[in-house]
Amino acid sequence: MPLVTTKEMFKKAYDGGYAVGAFNVNNMEMIQAIVEAANECKSPVILQVSAGARKYANPVYLRHLVQAAVETTDIPIAMHLDHGADFEICKSSIDGGFTSVMIDASSKPWEENIAITKKVVEYAHDHGVVVEAELGKLAGIEDDVHVADHDAMFTSPDEVEEFTSRTGIDSLAIAIGTSHGAYKFKPGQDPKLRIDILEEIGRRLPGFPIVLHGASSVPQEQVAVVNQFGGSMPNAIGIPESELRKAAKLAVCKINIDSDLRVAFTAAIRKHLAENPSHFDPRQYLGDARVNMKEMVKHKIIDVLGSANKA
Ligand code: G3H
Ligand code: 13P
Ligand code: ZN
pTM beyond 0.85: yes
- 82 as an active site residue: the answer is yes
pLDDT 10s digits, 234-284: 989 999 999 999 999 999 999 999 999 999 999 999 999 999 999 999 999
Domain ranges in the chain are 7-223+233-257+296-305
Q: Give nearest CA residue, ligand 1 atom 2.
A: 142
Give the residue from 197, 154, 196 showing the smallest Cα distance to 178.
154
Q: Between 140 and 198, whose confidence is greater?
A: 198
Mean pLDDT, the chain, whole residue set: 95
Q: How many CB atoms lie within 10 A of CB 89?
A: 19
Cα(15)–Cα(255) distance, rounded to whole angstroms?
16
Q: How far is the CA of 50 from the centre of ligand 3 (A)?
A: 9
Handedness of CA 142, 143, 145, 148 (dihedral sign): positive
Residue 56 clears pLDDT 80, i.e. is over it: yes
Q: Residue 249: which of 8, 11, 19 has the closest Cα? A: 19
CA of 229 to the centre of ligand 2 (A): 25
Minimum-distance ligand 2 atom for the alpha carbon of 145? 10
* Ligand 1 nearest atom to the CA of residue 142, by list position: 8
Q: What is the pLDDT of residue 229?
A: 98
> pLDDT band at 188, cuts 50/70/90?
confident
Average pLDDT for 139-161: 73
Give residue 99's pLDDT. 98
Between 151 and 98, where is the model more confident?
98
Q: Which of 132-141, 223-232, 264-273 has the least mean pLDDT?
A: 132-141
Nearest CA to ligand 1 atom 6: 142
Give the strand order in the sheet containing 179-180. Answer: 145-147, 139-142, 179-180
- Distances in Å between the alpha carbon of 294 and those of 195, 265, 303? 29, 9, 14
Residue whose CA is closest, atom 8 of ligand 1?
143
> Is residue 153 very low, low, confident or very high in pLDDT (cuts 50, 70, 90)?
confident
How many angstroms separate the alpha carbon of residue 196 from the centre of ligand 3?
A: 21
DSSP output for 84-124: E-SHHHHHHHHHTT-SEEEE--TTS-HHHHHHHHHHHHHHH
Q: Which of 74, 82, 95, 143 is catalytic?
A: 82
**Ligand 1 neighbours by CB, cut-off 6 Å:** 24, 50, 52-53, 82-83, 142-145, 180, 258
Predicted local confidence at residue 147, as pLDDT: 60
Domain 7-223+233-257+296-305 bears CATH identifier 3.30.310.10? no
| Dist CA 311 CA 293 (whole Å) | 21
- Name the nearest CA neighbour of 308 among 75, 4, 80: 75
Compute φ and ψ for 21, nearest 5 degrees: -80, 135
Query: What confidence score (pLDDT) does residue 224 get?
Result: 97
Return the pLDDT at 1.
83
